[in-house]
């Protein structure tokens, strides 16, 4: 489990959030392929040194095994093009180029070198960013495709036993066509895969942008609704406070004026009760005058209460 976690961390080196999804996938793929190829070369090194006794091939594969683990750390430094170029150039040079330069190859390599270069012709389309690194992708892919066609010519040119290789080639009249077709097939498939993948990614990005915009609009509307609710609550509270204050003042005025009303009203009732038993005209006039005075006083009090209530309602 720890080993799996270790390799996962290595594969993730160089993947940054600010880079687009396409670049993140390419970096992850480059890291993983470099580590896997490095491990394969290590196993082949063991075979070359201890079983096949092919030391020159063993040293070449050992260099590749030590070189490729640098790729994830170059990606981590942000040099994505350099890391991918190293992955494309390094193994190709030591697997195909060094045997030609050192003249350390045998006739059977006429066959599998074509397939090696055919595979490397498709790798640039697989690991380079389709938009940001298009030039390097096309250059490396075209280089290995041309090498697939002419690798036998290079082997013959750099080999001292040219006649032996030429005779060997004559018995393989159809050895070159399959790897060339395989290279074309591989490049077309990967190219189509990239196009379809980018198309779906653009659609997904457009959908994500639309969803983000919708979420922002919903969030804005939610904030506006929240603010509206707060304003409404504040307004209701203010109105409630005003109503409570008015009710309180009305009750205070009512209690206060009730005492004022009771005095004149009690006098009027008392004077009316007295007038029932008074037969003197002069006294009745005085009682009526007092009743009239108390009635005016009661009317003034009622008008005063009405004015106060009207003022409170208009606030």
* Contact of 141 with 122, CB cutoff 8 Å: yes
* pLDDT at 232 (0 to 100): 87
Predicted confidence (pLDDT) at residue 172 exceeds the cutoff of 70 = no
- Apex CA 62: angle with CA 178 and CA 95, to 5°? 25
- Range of weakest confidence among 63-77, 116-130, 287-301: 287-301
Q: Write the pLDDT tens digit of every residue in 25-58.
A: 899 999 999 999 999 999 999 988 888 778 888 8
3-state secondary structure at position 218 = helix
Q: What's the length of the chain?
A: 315
Q: Write the pLDDT tens digit of every residue in 217-272.
A: 888 888 888 888 888 888 888 888 888 887 777 776 666 666 677 777 777 777 77
* pLDDT at 311 (0 to 100): 63
Q: How many CB atoms lie within 10 A of CB 233?
A: 10
Alpha carbons within 13 angstroms on the beta-carbon side of residue 224 total: 6
Write the burial class of residue 237 (CB in 10 Å: 0-12 exposed, 13-18 middle, 19+ buried).
Answer: exposed
Q: Distance (Å, rounded) from C-alpha 179 to C-alpha 112?
A: 9
Residue whose token pair is 């159809």: 174
* pLDDT at 144 (0 to 100): 93
- Cα dihedral 238, 239, 242, 243 sign: negative
pTM across the whole model: 0.65
Q: Distance (Å, rounded) from C-alpha 192 to C-alpha 230?
A: 56
* pLDDT at 51 (0 to 100): 83
- Range of weakest confidence among 1-15, 20-34, 155-169: 155-169
């Amino acid at each position: 489990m720890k080993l799996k976690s270790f390799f996962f961390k290595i594969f993730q080196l160089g993947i940054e959030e600010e880079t687009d999804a396409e670049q993140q996938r390419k970096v992850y793929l480059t890291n993983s392929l470099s580590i896997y190829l490095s491990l394969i070369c290590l196993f082949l090194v063991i075979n070359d040194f201890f079983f096949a006794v092919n030391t020159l091939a063993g040293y070449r594969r050992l260099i590749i095994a030590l070189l490729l683990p640098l790729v994830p750390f170059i990606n981590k430094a942000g040099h994505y093009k350099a890391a991918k170029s190293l992955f494309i150039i390094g193994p190709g040079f030591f697997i195909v180029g060094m045997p030609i330069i050192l003249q350390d190859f045998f006739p059977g390599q006429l066959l599998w070198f074509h397939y090696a270069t055919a595979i490397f012709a498709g790798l640039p389309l697989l690991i380079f960013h389709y938009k940001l690194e298009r030039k390097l992708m096309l250059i490396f892919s075209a280089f290995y495709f041309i090498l697939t066609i002419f690798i036998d010519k290079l082997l013959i040119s750099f080999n001292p036993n040219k006649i032996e290789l030429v005779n060997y080639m004559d018995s393989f009249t159809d050895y070159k066509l399959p790897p060339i077709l395989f290279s074309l097939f591989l490049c077309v498939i990967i190219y189509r895969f990239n196009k379809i993948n980018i198309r779906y990614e653009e659609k997904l990005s457009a959908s994500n942008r639309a969803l983000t915009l919708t979420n922002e609009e919903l969030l804005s509307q939610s904030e506006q609704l929240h603010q509206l609710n707060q304003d409404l609550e504040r307004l209701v509270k203010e109105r409630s406070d005003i109503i409570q204050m008015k009710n309180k003042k009305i009750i205070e005025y009512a209690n206060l004026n009730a005492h004022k009303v009771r005095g004149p009203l009690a006098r009027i009732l008392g004077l009316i009760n007295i007038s029932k038993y008074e037969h003197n005209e002069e006294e009745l006039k005085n009682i009526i005058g007092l009743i009239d005075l108390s009635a005016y006083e009661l009317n003034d009090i009622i008008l005063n209460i009405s004015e106060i209530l009207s003022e409170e309602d208009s606030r």
